[in-house]
């Protein structure tokens, strides 16, 4: 191909705008008369990644688990601290009574009852305490705690009026508690909290189920009402869905559906009117071209190529009017299907549009396999022409690759940033991507656009798309 040093950056056009968010399948045009619309709506609901029921129940279960676990830790710490405070209270009570008795009688003996025992000197304390504390440490800590083996000690030091320091020790040994006391302890401090936690989880889950039903039923009603929408009942106002938020959603859905239906109606009218209006000038041009051919203009090499291009352009416009009338349902009968050699069709389209890349630093490579499909040739030609023209119009440099296989057709060209529009290259059918999407829907194909490794890819997947595209 030729090279042009002063080339302009071309916008990628409608195809690139559709692929701006990455690889995706082009959305179907809203068709209120499509009987499969409700089925697709149901399939979309089934494919929803999030479930309201699961979200609500998961939230409540997580809340219950956090509360129960937190309450368990709190109860454990509270129980332990409660025992410590109980022992300290017993020691303070014993020390207070001892000091009162000592004030009346200095020879009163130190307390020695139950788990509490008094010691007059540090050297008299149990060996476990003397090995872990000294006298100064015990005087600085009014309630020292020590755990050695199975023994637990709580040491309370107090100073008598004669400045002598005495020690009150609360000692408990693991295993000394009776089985009945163990059972009572387990019942009040283990089984009861566990049962209360389990009941709490059951109650919260029941509340979650009730709340879900109160929310899910109106949402399900809204879902069924949305699926039931059709052009015949769009003039009716939606019923109330219990919650103002759902009523607002229903109003937005209804307003959007009305706009889409009105847009489709306008589009159909445009297709029909444009097709009817184009038929007359196309017929006139075609008749004049045939007359010029009879007069021998094709024998003149100066006009032969121009006459050929004009004839092909008129033929394409005639095909387009037929397709538009068919889409607008002006023609009730389906278009006839024929065996179409896709590779030959692509080669013909490339020859017709190769002038679009003349003068650009663009190279063209093709990998076309002999593939035959049974499809309306008019529609297949329009679809493939849009693909090829789009790549040719919006490529300024690099390589354009066109390939096909039994699975479909792929066109790849280099991605360019949007620049100044070149209106000279924005000719063609004028309806572009939207028309192509409607046509592929009608014949059971699918269009996909994507950006991969700096390449703008357009794929047309045919009905035999189980075969990989090259």
CA pair distance 357, 372, nearest whole angstrom:
28
Q: Is residue 244 part of a domain?
A: no
Residue range of the domain that includes 38: 34-108+179-230
Question: Is the C-alpha dihedral spanning 291, 294, 297, 301 positive or negative?
Answer: positive
Q: Which residues contact 2 (CB under 8 A, 6 or more apart)?
A: 358, 359, 360
Do residue 369 and residue 222 come from a single domain? no
Residue the block writes with tokens 């000197």:
121
**b/e per residue 70-94 (b: at least 16 CB within 10 A):** eeeeebeeeeeeeeeeebbebbeeb
Q: Is 115 exposed, middle or buried (0-12, 13-18, 19+ CB in 10 A)?
A: middle
- Structural domain count, the chain: 3
- DSSP annotation of 300 reads S
Q: How confident is the model at residue 57 (pLDDT cuts 50, 70, 90)?
A: confident
Q: Does residue 23 have a pLDDT over 70?
A: no
Using CA atoms, how far residue 320 sits from 103, 275, 367, 422, 461, in Å, is 119, 8, 28, 24, 22
- Give CA–CA dist 13/268, Å, rounded: 23
Residues 154 and 210 in one domain: no
For residues 281 and 321, state if they share a domain: yes
User: Which pLDDT value is given to residue 309?
Assistant: 81
- Same domain as 73, residue 21: no
Q: Are residues 101 and 116 in the same domain?
A: no
Q: What is the dihedral of CA 61, 65, 67, 69, to 10 degrees?
A: 180
Q: How far is CA 175 from the centre of its chain?
A: 59
Query: 9 in helix, strand or coil?
Result: coil
Asked whether residue 238 is assigned to any structural domain, the reply reads no
| Ramachandran angles phi, psi of 465, nearest 5° | -75, 5
User: Quick check: is 26 in a domain?
Assistant: yes
pLDDT band for position 432 (cuts 50, 70, 90): low
Q: Which residues are paired to 411 by β-bridges? A: 402, 458
Give Rg (Cα) of the chain.
44
The model's pTM is: 0.45
Of 14-23, 144-153, 403-412, give the lowest mean pLDDT range: 14-23
Model confidence at 31: pLDDT above 60 = no
Cα(436)–Cα(425) distance, integer angstroms: 18
Residue that has been written with the tokens 């389906």 in this structure: 334
Q: How confident is the model at residue 179 (pLDDT cuts 50, 70, 90)?
A: low
Q: What's the mean per-residue pLDDT of the chain?
A: 76
């Amino acid at each position: 191909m030729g090279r042009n040093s002063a080339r302009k950056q071309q916008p990628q056009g409608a195809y690139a705008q559709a692929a701006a968010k990455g690889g995706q399948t082009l959305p179907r045009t809203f068709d209120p008369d499509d009987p499969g619309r409700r089925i697709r709506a149901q399939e979309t609901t089934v494919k929803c990644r999030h479930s309201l029921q699961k979200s609500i129940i998961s939230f409540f279960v997580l809340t219950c688990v956090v509360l129960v676990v937190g309450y368990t830790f709190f109860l454990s710490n509270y129980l332990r601290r409660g025992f410590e405070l109980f022992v300290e209270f017993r020691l303070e009570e014993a020390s207070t009574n001892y000091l009162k008795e000592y004030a009346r009688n200095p020879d009163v003996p130190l307390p020695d009852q139950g788990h509490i025992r008094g010691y007059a000197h540090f050297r008299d304390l149990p060996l476990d305490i003397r090995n872990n504390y000294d006298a100064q440490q015990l005087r600085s800590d009014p309630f020292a705690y020590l755990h050695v083996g199975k023994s637990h000690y709580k040491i309370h030091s107090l100073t008598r009026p004669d400045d002598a320091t005495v020690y009150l020790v609360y000692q408990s040994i693991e295993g000394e508690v009776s089985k009945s006391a163990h059972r009572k302890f387990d019942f009040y401090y283990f089984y009861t909290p566990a049962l209360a936690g389990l009941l709490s989880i059951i109650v919260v889950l029941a509340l979650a189920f009730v709340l879900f039903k109160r929310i899910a039923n109106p949402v399900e009603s809204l879902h069924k009402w949305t699926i039931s929408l059709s052009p015949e009942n769009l003039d009716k106002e939606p019923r109330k869905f219990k919650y103002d938020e759902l009523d607002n959603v229903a109003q937005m859905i209804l307003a959007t559906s009305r706009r889409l239906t009105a847009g489709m109606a306008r589009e159909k009218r445009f297709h029909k009117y444009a097709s009817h209006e184009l038929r007359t000038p196309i017929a006139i041009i075609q008749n004049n071209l045939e007359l010029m051919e009879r007069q021998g203009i094709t024998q003149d090499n100066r006009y032969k190529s121009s006459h050929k291009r004009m004839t092909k352009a008129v033929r394409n416009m005639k095909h387009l009017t037929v397709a538009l009338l068919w889409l607008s349902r002006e023609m009730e009968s389906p278009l006839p299907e024929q065996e179409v050699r896709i590779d030959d069709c692509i080669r013909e389209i490339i020859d017709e549009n190769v002038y679009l890349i003349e003068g650009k630093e663009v190279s063209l490579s093709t990998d076309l396999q002999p593939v035959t499909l049974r499809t309306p040739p008019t529609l297949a030609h329009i679809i493939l022409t849009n693909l090829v023209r789009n790549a040719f119009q919006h490529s300024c440099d690099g390589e354009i690759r066109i390939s096909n296989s039994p699975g479909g057709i792929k066109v790849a060209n280099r991605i360019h940033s949007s620049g100044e529009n070149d209106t000279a290259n924005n000719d063609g059918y004028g309806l572009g991507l939207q028309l192509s999407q409607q046509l592929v829907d009608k014949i059971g194909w699918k269009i996909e656009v994507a950006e991969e490794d700096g390449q703008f890819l357009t794929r047309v997947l045919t009905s035999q798309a189980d075969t990989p595209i090259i």
